[in-house]
Amino acid sequence: MKISVIITLKKDVLDPQGKVIHQTLDGMGFEDVNEVRQGKYFEIDTKETDNDKAKTKVEEMCKKLLANLVIENYKIIDPK
Amino acid sequence: MKSSVITFPGSNCDRDMDVALKKFGFKNKMVWHADAELPKSDLVVLPGGFSYGDYLRCGSMASKSKIMQSVINFANSGGMVMGICNGFQILVEAGLVPGVLLRNKYLEFICKNVFVKINDKKNKYFKNVDNEVLEFHIAHNEGNYFCTNDQLKEIEDNNQIAINYCNENGKIEDQFNPNGSIKNIAGIFNKEKNVLGMMPHPERMIDTSLSGEDGSLFFKNLINNLK
């Protein structure tokens, strides 16, 4: 089963890369952009076949390694 | 005094640290990250470098390596653990000191000498250092210290800030902040002050013909404090 995880920076954390991307988009003529925040995306292929169990395991992975909860939030995308 | 320097895949300041520790009297051992046991040590050092290629987040992989459980146990039982640069990043990822290190504010790798002001001398790292300001070297891409407001309050209440970026006269101002760190923080202790994480490299300032002498002051003082 493949489970996807999206990690984003928390609201108050400075994201200089997102800022530079925003400025570049601005320079390219995409002037309507309010803000850009850069994040991370993971696809985890697990042997677990039970949806709930797999999600619980991935949540543990997020808390222990994939995300740093001081600065990041994680979102597990339901495998369907 | 016995010290141990942990080498992770991608560490590159481990040998400099070995040279520095030996120069000032430590009997140092190099310890591989995949070992389970720490040799008997009075000081454990996590050196600078780019452990695991800085994948995921700097220090995140190294913080889960086998030796780290022993390092964490050693720190929790009061043992002296010092993390320099990438070692500092490993300490925050291991939860031994609070906060995180973000990408530098202006997205540049910074490599230069800086001045730092010692904020607290009631600890074994800086006790008896005569100077208030030291000149150290920094070389990092992710040294922008960040923590939550609650954490910052706790850090300040417990006097856990070790050193702040400043000018040569010890003035702590925004213009002397190289990387955007909150409150110009360059180094921080755990609550008990036996664990120190800092971005600057004292081991690069131990030879007058190459650099400066302020690292020598730091190490000479450290070994005396541990005796």
DSSP string, B35-58: -S-PPS-SEEEE--B-GGGG-SST
Describe the crossing of helices B14-23 and B214-226 by its angle, rounded to 10 degrees: 70
ipTM of the complex: 0.83
What's the total number of domains in chain B? 1
Q: A16 to chain B nearest CA, in Å?
A: 6
For an interface test with A, which of B100, B101, B108, B181 has the most A Cβ atoms less than 10 Å from its Cβ?
B100
Q: Do A71 and B100 touch (CB under 8 A)?
A: yes
Q: Do A70 and B56 touch (CB under 8 A)?
A: no
Residue A80 CB neighbour total at 10 angstroms: 4
Confidence of residue B209 (pLDDT cuts 50, 70, 90): confident
Question: pLDDT digits over A65-80, tens only?
Answer: 999 999 999 999 977 6
Find the CB nearest B105 among A16, A64, A66. A16
Q: A78 to chain B nearest CA, in Å?
A: 23
B154: pLDDT strictly greater than 80: yes
Question: Taking all residues of chain A, what is their mean pLDDT, rounded to a whole number?
Answer: 93
Mean pLDDT value across residues B42-65: 96
Find the CB nearest B147 among A16, A20, A70. A70
For residue B52, the chain A residues in CB contact (below 8 A) are none
Q: B22 to chain A nearest CA, in Å?
A: 35
CATH number for the domain including A69?
3.30.1280.10
HSE-CB at B9 with a 13 A cutoff on CA atoms is 10
Per the structure, the complete domain to which residue B154 belongs is given by: 2-226
B101: pLDDT strictly greater than 70: yes
Mean pLDDT value across residues B198-217: 93
3-state secondary structure (DSSP) of residue A32: coil
At B194, give phi and psi (nearest 5°). Answer: -95, -15
Q: Residue B37, class by beta-carbon neighbours within 10 Å (0-12 exposed, 13-18 middle, 19+ buried)?
A: exposed
Per the structure, the complete domain to which residue A13 belongs is given by: 2-77
What's the total number of domains in chain A? 1
- The per-residue pLDDT for A14 is 87
For an interface test with A, which of B56, B60, B107, B179 has the most A Cβ atoms less than 10 Å from its Cβ?
B56
3-state secondary structure (DSSP) of residue A72: strand
Q: Which two tokens stand for residue B85?
A: 């640069």
Question: pLDDT digits over B167-200, tens only?
Answer: 999 999 999 999 999 999 999 999 999 999 999 9
- The per-residue pLDDT for B211 is 86
Q: B147 to chain A nearest CA, in Å?
A: 7
Residue B11 CB neighbour total at 10 angstroms: 24
Q: Do B148 and A20 touch (CB under 8 A)?
A: no
B35: pLDDT strictly greater than 70: yes
B36: pLDDT strictly greater than 70: yes
- The per-residue pLDDT for B203 is 97
For residue A14, the chain B residues in CB contact (below 8 A) are 102, 105, 144, 146, 180
Question: Taking all residues of chain B, what is their mean pLDDT, rounded to a whole number?
Answer: 96
- How far apart are alpha carbons B125 and B206 in whole angstroms? 16
- How far apart are alpha carbons B203 and B1 in whole angstroms? 17
Asked whether the beta carbons of B49 and B10 are under 8 A apart, the reply is yes
* Identity of the residue numbered B213: E
Mean pLDDT value across residues B4-25: 97
| Percent of chain B residues topping a pLDDT of 90 | 97
Mean pLDDT value across residues A32-50: 95
Find the CB nearest A71 among B102, B104, B107. B102
What's the 3-state SS for B111-164?
Answer: EEEEEEEECCCCCCCCCCCCCCEEEEEEEECCCEEECCHHHHHHHHHCCCEEEE
- The per-residue pLDDT for A80 is 63
Find the CB nearest A65 among B64, B102, B151. B64
For residue B56, the chain A residues in CB contact (below 8 A) are 65-66
Mean pLDDT value across residues A9-34: 92
For residue B106, the chain A residues in CB contact (below 8 A) are 16
